[in-house]
Amino acid sequence: MNNNALLPKLRGVLKPYRTQLLFAMAGMVLVGGFNALQAYMVKPLLDEIFINRNARLLHLLPLGLLGVFFFKGIFYFLYSFLLEKVGQSVIRDLRNSIYAHLNDLPLSFFHKTPTGELMSRIMNDVSMLQGSVTHALIRVLRDFCSVIGLVGVIFYMDWRLALVSLIFLPLAAVPIVVFGKKFRKISTTYQTKIGEATSQLHETIAGVRIVKAFGMEGFEKRRFAEKMQGIMDTLMLETRYSCLSHPMIEFLGGIGMAMIIWFGGTQVLQGNSTPGAFMSFLTALIMLYEPVKGVSKINTTIQQGLAAATRIFALLEIQPDIREAPDAIEMPPFSHSIVLSAVNFCYEGNPPVLKNLNLQVNRGEVLAVVGPSGSGKTTLANLIPRFYEITQGSLCIDEIDIRRFTLPSLRQQLALVTQQTILFNDTVRNNIAYGRNDCPEQKIIEAAKAAYALDFILDLPQGFDTVIGESGARLSGGQQQRISIARALLKDAPILILDEATSALDTESEREVQRALENLMQNRTTIVIAHRLSTIKNADRIIVLKDGQLVEEGTHGELLALGGEYHGLYQLQFAGEPMEGPL
């Protein structure tokens, strides 16, 4: 993204704060004016007080100076406060819009992009942009006003001398132009590296158990240290350039100054100018070089900000590939069937995972999906809530293609229990009532009870108010599963998609999870990806997936009798499991 594309976007971000910015700018103009006035006051000081010995002015000038400082202070406070406020507001807005945008992006995006990297975009990149918006903007505008005022003073004092000194001003821009491009490139590298480091942090802290179990602490430490070294090297490269540009500008300024002293001094000695005018000129000139030098520093910040903005807007511009149709309708209450016809699916750029799948699930039915690992079962389950879009064919609920429904109305009627339990670092209550703040306590308790979770919840130190740790880390595997079942129960959606966890639980907790699931499936249309024999026993119908194809379909008895794929799977997966009652 180049500047031409970037600037209108940044302007758009600043737009809501136009009035505040205008006030801030007015403040800056005044501060710039007072700066010029300060420089100007050197002339009466020297010429009137020291040379003409004007005693009355000796009383007035210090008072005037106090006044100048006082008002400059007030306006300085006003504009810097306002600008900081605008900067912080912009940062808040940007973080909110990135987060909102992330929430709207489809699952496929998150499978491609590391979590840490996204966190880094929201936190680090945005704060880098803040540096530009507030600090750089403040200094650029203020310095610009001061420069205008001071240039006015030097021209007023001696326009020929002013012309000579201004020849050197543009030279100061040379390092800025030379280094500007480098700064931006370095900054992009830096942000990418920070993203990678955050990504490692996120992965290894979340997966600390595996890191420890495999004795990989040393490896991870080294990997992290390498990343930190890389970040430091990048920053030092930037520092080298920014440290270099300061003395370069200073030296160029020095040449100018030396010439002015020689030239201006000659003028005073020859009586063409007064010492006061010359000193006032010199003061203004010295004050003038300050902002000019500052520009090179600001340039670093601005380039960093632009690099960050490029990354931020690139993220904001990613269009979700799963979108509601413009004329999307609310999904009517589920009444009779889910039908997949000739469904093909492949993950972006990969070979097909589901091939020519035809399937009907009627209301009230329990359909079990079995098949070897990697056969596409979870993928199939992901298509119904439209987490992924089918590549070919159609998926209809009650004869209407699901692409015609609004996403919330479709997902409203689905309850999902995923293969990996997903819990939040919140209380048990909030995990069960996720997204339903107004849910009556009684319903939460009923859901917990039906999920066979009430007993252990009440045994927790704070009962329903116990915070369960990140991903429910303070609960056992079976307890986590039952909480997520309670959550699905409470949602009370007509269609249930159940991806059974593959990890085996001990028989006691297995039995409780099983009973919880049975409660969950009652009076619902269920598609269950079965890894347990007892689930299969409860199913009305079983389909067998193999390499993304539906190879067998029927009841447990029928499929066993067939002696085919299912028979083989049964021998492998389920034959060892204890069974209650005849099939």
Ligand X SMILES: Nc1ncnc2c1ncn2[C@@H]1O[C@H](COP(=O)(O)OP(=O)(O)OP(=O)(O)O)[C@@H](O)[C@H]1O
Collect all residues with Cβ–Cβ distance below 8 Å to 318 and sequence separation of at least 6.
101, 105, 109
Centre a 10 Å sphere on the Cβ of residue 74 and count the other Cβ atoms it contains.
14
Stretch that binds ligand X, among 29-37, 122-130, 333-341, 368-376 (CB under 6 A): 368-376
Binding-residue pattern over the window 415 to 434 for ligand X, x denoting contact by CB under 6 A: ----x---------------
The contact pattern for ligand X, residues 103-142, with x = CB under 6 A and - = no contact, is --------x-------------------------------
Task: Report the distance separating Cα 444 and Cα 458, nearest Å.
Answer: 13
Instruction: Determine the interface stretch with ligand X among 295-303, 328-336, 377-385, 459-467 (rule: CB under 6 A).
Output: 377-385
CA 507 to mean position of chain CA atoms: 43
Q: Please report, as residue ranges, which positions from 338 to 367 form the binding site for ligand X (by CB under 6 A).
A: 347, 350, 353
CB of 526 to ligand X, least distance (A): 17
512-526: b (≥16 Cβ within 10 Å) or e: bbbbbbeebbeebbb
Nearest to 308 by CA among 478, 463, 123, 107: 123
Gap between the Cα atoms of 150 and 146, Å rounded: 6
Residues 464-483 that bind ligand X (CB under 6 A): none
270 interacts with ligand X by CB under 6 A:
no
The CA distances from residue 526 to 94, 186, 263, in Å, are: 41, 54, 93
Name the minimum Å distance from CB 376 to ligand X.
Answer: 4
Looking at beta carbons only, is 70 or 347 nearer to ligand X? 347
Q: For ligand X, give the closer residue by CB, 348 or 465.
A: 348
498 with 526: CB under 8 angstroms?
yes
Q: Using the rule CB under 6 A, which residue among 373, 437, 442, 523 binds ligand X?
A: 373
Residue from 184, 377, 429, 491 that binds ligand X (CB under 6 A)?
377
- Least CB distance from residue 298 to ligand X, whole Å? 44
Tell me whether residue 89 or residue 378 sits nearer to Mg ion (CB atom): 378
Nearer Cβ to ligand X (260/545): 545
Decide whether 159 or 347 has the Cβ nearer to ligand X.
Answer: 347
Least distance CB 380 / Mg ion (angstroms): 9
Size of the site for Mg ion (CB under 5 A): 1
Nearer CB in complex with ligand X: 270/350? 350
Q: Which residue is nearest to Mg ion (CB)?
A: 378
Can you name the residues that pair with 544 across neighbouring β-strands? 370, 552
The DSSP code sequence of 347-395 is -TTS--SEEEEEEEEETT-EEEEE-STTSSHHHHHHHTTTSS--SEEEE
Partner touching 375 among Mg ion, ligand X, none, CB below 5 to 8 Å by kind: ligand X
Q: What are phi and psi of 339, to 5 degrees?
A: -125, 125
Q: Is residue 319 at the binding interface for ligand X, with CB under 6 A as the rule?
A: no
Window 94-133: contact mask with Mg ion (x via CB under 5 A):
----------------------------------------
Residues in the interface with ligand X (CB under 6 A) total 13
Nearer to Mg ion, 34 or 345 (CB): 345
Beta bridge partners of 498: 417, 528
Report, in Å, the least distance between residue 110 CB and ligand X.
Answer: 9
- Unique residue bearing structure tokens 């990297």: 117
SS3 195: helix
Q: In degrees, to the nearest 5, what angle opens at C-alpha 32 toward C-alphas 29 and 36?
A: 140
89 binds Mg ion (CB under 5 A): no
Scanning 253-261, 284-292, 371-379, 406-414 for contacts with ligand X by CB under 6 A, the matching segment is 371-379
Q: Is 374 in the site for ligand X (CB under 6 A)?
A: yes
Q: Does residue 442 touch ligand X according to CB under 6 A?
A: no
Window 366-405: contact mask with Mg ion (x via CB under 5 A): ------------x---------------------------
Residues 227 and 146: beta-carbon distance below 8 Å: no
The span from the CA of 359 to the CA of 377, in Å, is 13
Indicate the residue among 444 and 569 with the shorter CB distance to ligand X. Answer: 569
- Tokens 């190879």 — which residue? 551
410 token code pair: 């479709």
Angstrom distance (rounded) from CA 430 to CA 141: 49
Q: What is the closest distance, in whole angstroms, from the C-beta atom of residue 148 to ligand X in the complex? A: 58
Q: How many CB atoms lie within 10 A of CB 555?
A: 15
Dist CA 24 CA 82 (whole Å): 6
378/412 with CB nearer Mg ion: 378
The residue ranges that bind Mg ion (CB under 5 A) are 378
The residue ranges that bind ligand X (CB under 6 A) are 111, 347, 350, 353, 371, 373-379, 419
